[in-house]
Amino acid sequence: MSQSINDDVAKSLLNDISVLPETETFNLFDFVNIDEPSLSKLIAEFLNPKGSHNLGDIFLKSFLGSVNVDYSSEEVDNWEIIAEKSYIDILIKKGSECIIIIENKAFGAQDQPGQLFRYFQEKIYKPVQDDPRNNDSQILEIIKNHWIGKKDNKSRYGIIYLSPNSWKQPSDQSRKAPEMYQNKIKGFDEIPTDLSIEVRYVSNLLYDVFYKALEDSEKREEYFIQVIYQLNLYFDGLNKRENKIMEIFKTKDSYAAGIQLKKDLNNIQVRWKENFDKEFLEILVKNDYDDWKFSGTKWGYVWTLKDYEKCITIWLEDFKYLSIYTNTQDLFDKVKEDSVGKSLLNVFMGFGEESSFRSGDYGYLKTVDIKNKLIENRIDESAFESYEMTLWYCNFDRERLLEAYKTIFDKLLRSDTDFFKLMKQVHDRINN
């Protein structure tokens, strides 16, 4: 196939994709910014018996029934529903007796290495282990006997993987302990293979659990019926759009053109990133950051204080995740245990929202998401829909983006800031 034919097919391909409809009929959620965190909060709000819906426990009762959990309305006050906290999307628990985690992948987000392993170990295994009523040698057996999907007993523990459709399944790497994971229980390298991750489709949760709970309710709240119905239609529309894209790529020519466009786009993105890196470095040189050594890597931007043998590192990754990192276990422990180190971490947490991006990874003390701080500095929130969209802003809104970063890093790196003074104190203490 000649290059000219490739160009024609590529243009046709872009045109076909550009006119794809989001949904076939009006839907409120086409005009409301809904993402995985906001969906998690909405689901948790429905599940919460004390939620603003004022419908009591009808959603929680329906959900727990769908996973074979024994539930009594008389014990409703013993249940906790927590969303978007400590890197867990949704946590449903009754003490250590029943712990269900919902991992929200409704928009197809990629699994992080060891993600489900961390959830299993830290939010299920350890609470059961810490319960004095349980014999330490029987912890795993207790969990296995009451895991979701076991037919002989009522369910009490499990991880539900909320997926948009059949192609999105939990990866093997997410079940295994991350390399150099600090808090791994001895003998555990992965979630035991006989504990399956329960995959639920968004439509199943919304329609079969929430929608039907409302239909069967004596109150029959039409407003919430319509909200859930519209939300279900929204995800149905996303799946239809994806199926249409698959239809576009069914010919060899269109698929080949798509591959070529992907390669061209990757090359463009590399150039955008290189140009942005140069100007990012210039900003650091121009400002009062003389006490810091800076380097740019393919993973992000790195700062360390000069003139210290043992150093704490500041990382900026994916343009929005800011971390404090140490490269040795000894240094990690010293900072965590030191009173000034604790103050430093508390001040650092004020630079963004706590993030699970590097949770449990070796050497990472704290990680925050600075997206909202950047948005406060006149950066459009669409810049952070994906890494690829951020790259577009790095080229076409570079000046404003650089200025937003400067505003944040002035408060972080300048020698007259509280954070810098605490960094110096911590470095002086750990190097003595």
Check whether 23 has a pLDDT greater than 90: no
CA distance 180 to 209: 39
pLDDT tens digit sequence for 357-398: 776 677 889 999 999 999 999 999 889 888 889 999 999 999
Check whether 232 has a pLDDT greater than 90: no
Q: What is the pTM of this model?
A: 0.65
- 113 confidence band (pLDDT: 50, 70, 90): confident
Cα-Cα-Cα-Cα torsion 265, 168, 47, 233, nearest 10 degrees, comes to 70
Joined tokens for residue 247: 């239809």
Q: Pick the more confident residue, 26 or 148.
A: 148
CA distance 244 to 20: 8
DSSP H helices in 287-378: 329-337, 339-348, 371-376
CA proximity to 248, closest of 8, 2, 15: 15
pLDDT tens digit sequence for 41-59: 999 999 999 999 989 999 9
Joined tokens for residue 304: 């360390």
CA distance 373 to 355: 14
- 245 confidence band (pLDDT: 50, 70, 90): confident
Domain spans of the chain, in order of start: 20-245, 264-430
pLDDT score, position 228: 87
Check whether 29 has a pLDDT greater than 80: no
Tally of CB atoms within 10 A around 401: 24
CA distance 104 to 108: 9
pLDDT score, position 189: 81
pLDDT tens digit sequence for 153-204: 899 999 999 998 888 999 998 998 876 666 667 667 888 888 999 999 998 8
Tally of CB atoms within 10 A around 206: 24
Instruction: Tell me which amino acid residue 53 is.
Output: H
At which residue do the structure tokens 């969209």 appear? 389
Say which range, 122-131, 155-164, 239-248, 399-408, has the weakest mean pLDDT: 239-248
CA distance 404 to 171: 36
- 297 confidence band (pLDDT: 50, 70, 90): confident
Cβ burial, residue 173 (10 Å; 0-12/13-18/19+): middle
- 99 confidence band (pLDDT: 50, 70, 90): very high
pLDDT tens digit sequence for 161-171: 999 888 899 99
